[in-house]
Amino acid sequence: MIEFLIPFFWLVLFILVLSIIWRNNARKYISSGTVASAYDAWTQDKLLERLWGEHIHLGFYSSGKNNIDFREAKVQFVHELVKWSGLNKLPKGSRVLDVGCGIGGSSRILAKYYGFNVTGITISPAQVKRARELTPQGLNCNFQVMDALNLRFEDGSFDAIWSVEAGAHMNDKKKFADEMLRTLRPGGYLALADWNSRDFREYPPSFVEKLVIKQLLEQWVHPHFTSINEFDNILRNNKNSAGQVISENWNFYTNPSWYDSIIEGIRRPLTILNLGPSALVKSVREIPTILLMNWAFRKGLMEFGVYKCRG
Assigned domain for 284 exists: yes
Considering the domain boundaries, does residue 249 fall inside one? yes
For 284, the domain range is: 27-310
* Mean per-residue pLDDT, 76-88: 98
Note whether residue 43 is domain-resident. yes
Among the residue ranges 11-15, 76-80, 247-251, the one predicted with the least confidence is 11-15
Q: At 222, is the secondary structure helix, strand, or coil?
A: coil
**Count of structural domains within the chain:** 1
pLDDT at 297 over 70: yes
CATH assignment at residue 203: 3.40.50.150
Residue 2, in any domain of the structure: no
What is the Cβ-side half-sphere exposure of residue 51, based on CA atoms within 13 angstroms?
27
Q: How far apart are CA 57 and CA 302, in angstroms?
A: 15
Residue 265 — φ and ψ, nearest 5°?
-70, -30
| Contact assessment for residue 199 and residue 230, using Cβ atoms and an 8 Å cutoff | yes
- pTM equals 0.91
Beta bridge partners of residue 160, listed in sequence order: 96, 189
Q: What is the pLDDT of residues 126-175, one digit of tens each?
A: 999 999 999 999 999 999 999 999 999 999 999 999 999 999 999 999 99
CB pairs under 8 A, 24+ apart, for 89-92?
A: 89/189, 90/114, 90/116, 90/159, 90/160, 90/189, 91/115, 92/116
The tens digit of pLDDT for each residue in 11-69 reads 444 444 445 444 555 789 998 999 999 999 999 988 889 888 999 999 999 986 777 89
Kindly list the strands in the beta sheet with 246-249, ordered across the sheet, starting from the edge strand earlier in the chain.
141-145, 117-122, 95-99, 158-164, 184-197, 302-310, 246-249
Q: Judge whether residue 3 has pLDDT over 70.
A: no
Q: What is the DSSP string of 117-157?
A: EEEEEES-HHHHHHHHHHSPTTSSEEEEE--TTS--S-TT-
Residue 171 maps to a domain: yes
List of E strands, the chain: 95-99, 117-122, 141-145, 158-164, 184-197, 246-249, 302-310
The reply to whether 15 falls in a domain is: no
Classify residue 91 by its DSSP letter.
P
Q: What is the DSSP letter of 59?
A: P
- What confidence category does residue 286 fall into, taking pLDDT thresholds of 50, 70 and 90? confident
Which tens digit of pLDDT belongs to each residue from 175-234?
999 999 999 999 999 999 999 999 999 999 999 999 999 999 999 999 999 999 999 999
Evaluate the CA torsion angle 109, 246, 297, 198 in order and state its sign: positive
According to the model, what pLDDT value does residue 25 have? 58
Mean pLDDT of 245-262: 96
- In contact, 74 and 55? CB cutoff 8 Å: yes
Instruction: Give domain status of residue 263, yes or no.
Output: yes
The reply to whether 106 falls in a domain is yes
